[in-house]
Amino acid sequence: MSLNIIAETQVQVLVEDTITLFAPAIKVDEIKATVQNLRCHIIPEKVIFQGILHKQIFFVNENNVVVHQGVDIPFSGFVDLVQAEPGLCCQLTPIIEFIDFQLLSPTSLREVTVISINVRLLDLPPLENIFCNSLQKNAVFLGAKDLFVARGKGITTK
């Protein structure tokens, strides 16, 4: 069985969110992020994708104890590909390129993430990590599978 790549492109997705922390924070220690449940749908001349950006937020509370809060942020996007047509398969490879965060108040955290997604259209039967229906593929950050870590600068809120 041969792998026939019909088309390949890359698209970036900006995911912004402001979350409410369950306890007041003095500072954010680190944020770990992964892409989960990534899937696609092919329509004529377009590949539509959806996924979940899962973040694990570690912050220092008012008692100087590091606590954890998880958050799932849905995202979606599309890319135009003239070769796209129903019946083809797609392979999606996400890369978390950047995370920035700002503690707006002791309980409000603004986060910005850039995810680059490599999209391949394939003409072959379904295989692992290739989306002919809805399989999933996790993200890779600079060669480290499944994880992006953003560390805090130790800035306190007043």
Asked if pLDDT for residue 87 goes beyond 90, the answer is: no
Mean pLDDT of the chain: 84
Q: What is the pLDDT of residue 88?
A: 86
pLDDT in tens, 30-57: 999 999 999 999 999 999 999 999 999 9
Q: How confident is the model at residue 110 (pLDDT cuts 50, 70, 90)?
A: very high
Using an 8 Å Cβ cutoff, are 93 and 117 in contact? yes
Asked if pLDDT for residue 139 goes beyond 50, the answer is: no
d(CA 121, CA 87): 10
Q: Which pair of tokens denotes residue 84?
A: 């796209």
Asked if pLDDT for residue 154 goes beyond 90, the answer is: no
d(CA 93, CA 86): 20
d(CA 67, CA 18): 18
pLDDT in tens, 66-78: 999 999 999 999 9
- This prediction has a pTM of 0.77
Phi-psi region of 107 (alpha: psi -120 to 50; beta: other; left: phi over 0): alpha
Within 10 angstroms of residue 29's Cβ, the number of other Cβ atoms is 16
